[in-house]
Structures are given as structure tokens and as C-alpha cells.
A and B are shown apart, each in its own frame.
Chain A
Amino acid sequence: MPSTLAQQLPDLVVGGEPVADAEASVSVQALRSRFGEAVRGVRMDPVGTPVVTIDPDRVHDALSFLKTDAAQSYDLLLDVMGADPGGDLVIQVWYQLWSMEHGRMLRLLALLPRANLSVQSVVDLYPAADWLEREVYDMYGVRFEGHPDLRRILMPENYDEGFPLRKDFPLRGRFTRSEQVRRALNRSTEDVYSREELALAGLLEGDPGADEGEAKDYLAGEKMVINMGPQHPATHGVLRLVLQLDGETIIRCIPHIGYLHTGFEKTCEYREWNQVVPYTDRMDYLAPMLYNIGYAGAVESLLGVEITPRCQVVRLIMSELNRLLGHLLWLGTGAMDVGATTVFLYTFQERERIYNLHEAYCGGRITTSVTRIGGMVADLPVGWLDACREFVNGLTATIDEAERLLTRNSIFQSRLVDVGVIDAEKALEFGLTGPNLRASGIAYDVRKARPYLGYEEYDFDVPVGVVGDAYDRYLVRIEEMRQSIRILQQALGRVPDGPINVQDPAVILPDKSEAMSSIDAMISHFKLVMEGVQVPAGDVWYSIEATKGELGFGLISDGGPKPVRCRFRGPSFVNLAALPYLVEGGLVSDVIAANASIDIVLGEIDR
């Protein structure tokens, strides 16, 4: 047996015992005993997460305690999000934490008065907070004291219309359209580069690094600062990387995002709960049904409705089918990036077969919008399950073919082995989730840790890597595809009969035949269409295992038909922040390989 396999497999991360009441939670008791008066309130989330409201000036201490104390050890910062309920109410900042060792989730809530929108930054504890806090600053104007580089991340750096996600910011922006176009096209060089980049290029006046009269080292080459993207074949979207190069070696890599910032979160605040579903397709457009299903699950947890058994299995089938869809695209484009174009054509052929299944079910290939709150858009068509079974049985041959071409290929290996290495501890600090984290050796999969949709009843394994390089990430995803096929083969035989939608007239539209013949059904149809689904007041942070990592939905409802806050925690946003760590010190060609290996999709990064 090779020596690497002799080492012990890591333990599967599973959720701890659920607590009935927030006060019974170990972490809540520890926080209360340590922080006393600073803990303003404690309650429970609909999915069982304790929510602790704490004074804004104790947030850093609390997180430091929660991270370092052995009985707490919340080592994964999943999300930092802001929320503005409007009017003169305080702005909230949520910190969502997960403990690998104890399998516990916790949320810290800080309420910031509008007169003093500032809280201490937690970047020194969790490097994952770097970009997350920048986004809260960008969208709400909350200042994070001590953040090393607090500048806008999604909006252009010199954006001066305001802070978009605040409730007093109009949806269409403050300026007229022609003014917005004029400003957009009148950007100068200084606007597109940050101070750090201008300093690297020696263009900042008065900078001690700029060579004026300094003896240059004539044997060493000059360090070039170049742009890679946003329009680039290998950045997987409109991602811009500013690279400082010494020859071919990367000295500094600074990603710029926001070139696809579509304002999903703001726009969804103006749409009814079911109208948000088509928006969720467009974020991770590579595996749209996962977003549909996750969002519907989040709203259903707030509503407190239990979906039917048939709906559960159908959603599970769709989830795994879309996991395959996303991984097939990653495989095709990743292989194409390092030169293996044939694999691209093979995987796209398989994706066309999945598109046929999508189209047969809901009419759309990519933008499926397949869930409704409480159910699905429609029941499965006759013969769909057989077609799906036929596809799944044929897919193994294609994956084997792709592996034959790539896995033992010396060119592929030399491009991927020992490229973009990140070890388990660093990966946790950066907040990586999904195959990226599993390739570094941590067996954390939301489907196993906090099972949903009945995943606990299916037999499947979670692949983990050893080294955490790009080759490990490749192997983990290939194996995940095989495991998805395994789940599908089980699920396709277990679809129960029964209604697909919840039989609740306040949530799901009644059958058309009933609406046309029974007065109750007609009334409920009218109310649902005119008023929308009324979700009771509350908030939830719900997550599922998407193709790229842990996909989180932070929802706040005020009892009405529209969300107050609709946060999408796209896993690629947090995963991409680790890219500079992966590529600095490597070659330019390694940037392409590392970028492909972390599998990002700009739609969910920029939202």
C-alpha cells in the first residue's frame, strides 16, 4: 500500500446534538457567563441555530473567545452579512460560525445605531472576513475598524451614489441613467487601480519605493504589473487579476471583482417570495436548480412548512443532477484551460443530455426556476425518471473516458500537482468550503453534517484529499461525480407517489381545475396571486451543499409578501479570496491552473 494511504482518514464532520432551547446551548451559556451584560438577547433560529445579540464593541472579544476556547472552537466563519430593516431601525451585522470539532452552528448579531456605524474588524481572527467585511462596507457603509484594506469591492472604487443595500437608496440608483453612463465611461486610470497597485507600479508620487536616484539593480529584471481580465478566456468570467510579475513568477496577485455585480440582493427585496426564484437561477448559472432548491428550503424553514415526501426525493434528484452539471462544466473548462480541449467537448455533450432533462421538466435549459415555496413548479412528466436513469447509467463511461485522458497524463499532472497548495488549517481560516476544503483534508459536507432533503437515508461517501493541491481538487471532484451517480441510482428507485406540492392553500396555488370550480380554491388562488405568500416575521440562515461549497441564504421577513433582506452567501466569493495565497510565488501558468481548480462562478461571487 502506498505510504500516503497508510495515514488515517480524517473523521467525517457531523452535526452535534440539536438543542431544544437556545439557553441550553453550551456556547450561549459560555457567552452569558463570560460577557454578562453585553449579551443583549438570545433566541433560536428556525433551523436550530442559537442567535446571540451582543454589544457591537464586544464583538471582537466574543469571536476571539469563540474561536480559541477549546469547548467552543468555532473555526469556520461562514458569513458576515449586513441587514437594514429600514426607517430608523438599527443596522444589523450577522456573524455565522461553525465548529468543525463539535458540529455546532452559532450566529452573533451586532446591532449598530445609524449614528455610529462602526465595529471592530475580525480579519485578524478569520482571514475569511477580509472580503466579507469589505462587502458589508460597500453595501451598507459600516466601517470595520482595523481592517487592513477597507475599500469597495463590488461597486467601482470611486462610486459615490451611496451605499446600495440601504433602504433609503432607491433601486435604480440616485443619478439619472445618462449620468450613470457618463460616469461609467469617464473612469480614469487612477480610478481602476487601488493605491497598492499604483504603488507596486511605482506610479504614486512621493512614494519611497519609486526609484528616483536609487541605484537600480541592473541584473534583475523590472517587475511588471499587468492585468489579467476582466475579458479573458481563462478567468471563468469577468474576474480581473492584477499581477505583479518578475519574469514569469507572480510576486503579488490582487483580484478585483464586481464586474458582474447585478444587485440581486437589492432587487430581490422588491420581489415577492416566489418571484425571487427566477433570480436565483442567474447567480450560479452552471447549476441553477441547487440555488432554486436551497432558496425554497430556506423560505420553507421560515414558513414552517414541511414539503411532501415526493417533493423531497424529486428535489434531491434535481440537486444531484445539478451537482453533476456543475462538475462536468468544471471538468471541461478546467481541462481546456490546461490544454485538453477534447474533454471540453465530451463533457458538454453530457451537459446537453442534462439540459434535455431540464427542458423536459420545466422548459428551460439553464434558467430553470423549478421550485416554488412549498413544492415544485410541476410534477415530473411521464417517462422523465426513465430518461434520467438512462442518462445516469451512461455517464460513468464518459467520466471513465475523461479520467483515461487526464488522470495519469503526465502533462496534466505536471500542470496540476503541487500547484495551488493550501493546507487544512489555512483553508479553514480562509473560509473555504466544498471540494476545496475537502481536498485539503477536512471531511466537511453539509449533506452529512446537517442533512436535508433526506440525505441521511442515502449511501454515499465523501472524498477527501491529502495535499490540498490542484490535482487533489481534481480527484475529489471526479470522485464526487461518481458519488452523485451513486446517490442518483438510489434515489431514482425511491420516488414515492403522492402530491408534489404541500396541500396548503396559503402557500401553494391550487390546481387549476379546482380553482375554476370551487369558491374556496378560487379565493385562495386570488389571495396568493394578489398578496403573495405571507412569510411570518423572523430570520434564518440556511445552507446547503452546492457544487462550489456551502451555499447560504440569509433571509429576514417582516410577515409580508416580500423579503426585508435576501442574502445569498455564494461559496465562490469566499473561495476566491484564497486565490492570492494559492498563486503567489508560482508561475503565470499556475494562475490558470489554480483558478480553474478552485471552480468559481462569477455570478455568485458578484451577485
Chain B
Amino acid sequence: MKQAYVGVVVLFVVGLLTSGMFLLLSHLASAYRPSAVKAMPYESGIDPLGDTRERYSVKFYIVAMLFIVFDIETIFFLPWAVIFRDLGLFGLIEMFIFVFVLAVGLAYAWKKGALEWD
């Protein structure tokens, strides 16, 4: 059991070291010259009008929430794909029930018009 996880740990550590190395090297080679104008939000070269802390339309939140739910569903498929053969018919039926439950949710969202922008 433990040997299988050594690979994961090594991958994790190498990933951390590599990204850390990139950040460190960029920091050493960079010329950091901050200024107030540089930090201003970019709006095609013009002074931005209004605050950046304005509320966004709720439509964006709806799209984001739906995305999260179905994205998590997709992630749950991945371990199933790895041990597909071991689980056999039982796993297949179980997953189909899982998909069916989420499909009912999708149908509800669709009917309610949550997928329409306007």
C-alpha cells in the first residue's frame, strides 16, 4: 500500500520545488519598479470610472454554481474510471444511479431557465 503512495509524494514534492524554483528565479532576475500608476486597474489606457467593488449581476453566480456542481460530478468519475474493472456490474449500476440523480438536477435547472442568459 505504502509503496504506491511514494510516487504521489515524490510528484507533489517535485511539483512544489519546480514552481518554487520558477518563482525564485523570476524574482531574482526581475526589475521590480512599482508605482501607483502601474498598480492602477488597466482600462485601455483611460482612467477607470467607478469602483471595482461594484456588485456583479447575479447571473454570473448562477453560471458559476452550476459549473461547480457539474465539475465535481466529473471529478467523481475519474476514480471510477481507474477501478472500473474491479467494481464490475455493481459499480456500473451505482454510478448510473449517481448520474441519474444529477441528471434530474440538470433537467430541473434547464426547465427553470437557469441555462438561459437573459
Contacts and interface: CB of A to CB of B under 8 A. Distances in A.
A contacts B directly in the complex (CB < 8 Å)? yes
B50 A227 contact: no
A219 B44 contact: no
A537 interface: no
A203 B50 CA distance: 8
A215 to B, nearest CB: 15
B50 A192 contact: no
Given A247-B60, A248-B117, A227 B48 contact: yes
Contacts of B60: 247
Contacts of B54: 221-222, 224
A225 B56 contact: no
B34 interface: no
B43 interface: yes
A23 interface: no
A192 B46 contact: yes
B57 interface: yes
A201 B56 CA distance: 15
Contact of A192 (B47, B58, B59): B47
Contacts of B44: 227-232, 240
A384 interface: no
Interface string A200-232: 011100000000000000011110111111111
B113 to A, nearest CB: 15
Interface in B32-59: 43-50, 54-59
Contact of A201 (B45, B49, B57, B118): B49
A227 B49 CA distance: 8
Most buried by A among B50, B56, B118: B50
Given A219-B58, A221-B56, A248-B117, A231 B50 contact: no
B49 A189 contact: yes
B53 to A, nearest CB: 10
A79 B114 CA distance: 48
Contacts of A225: 49-50
Contact of A231 (B45, B47, B58, B117): B45
Contacts of A247: 56-57, 59-60
Listed from nearest, the 8 A-B pairs whose CB atoms lie closest are A247-B57, A221-B57, A222-B54, A189-B47, A201-B49, A227-B46, A227-B43, A201-B50
20 contacts: A198-B49, A203-B50, A221-B55, A221-B57, A222-B54, A226-B43, A226-B49, A227-B46, A227-B48, A228-B44, A229-B44, A230-B44, A231-B45, A240-B44, A240-B46, A242-B49, A247-B56, A247-B57, A247-B59, A249-B118
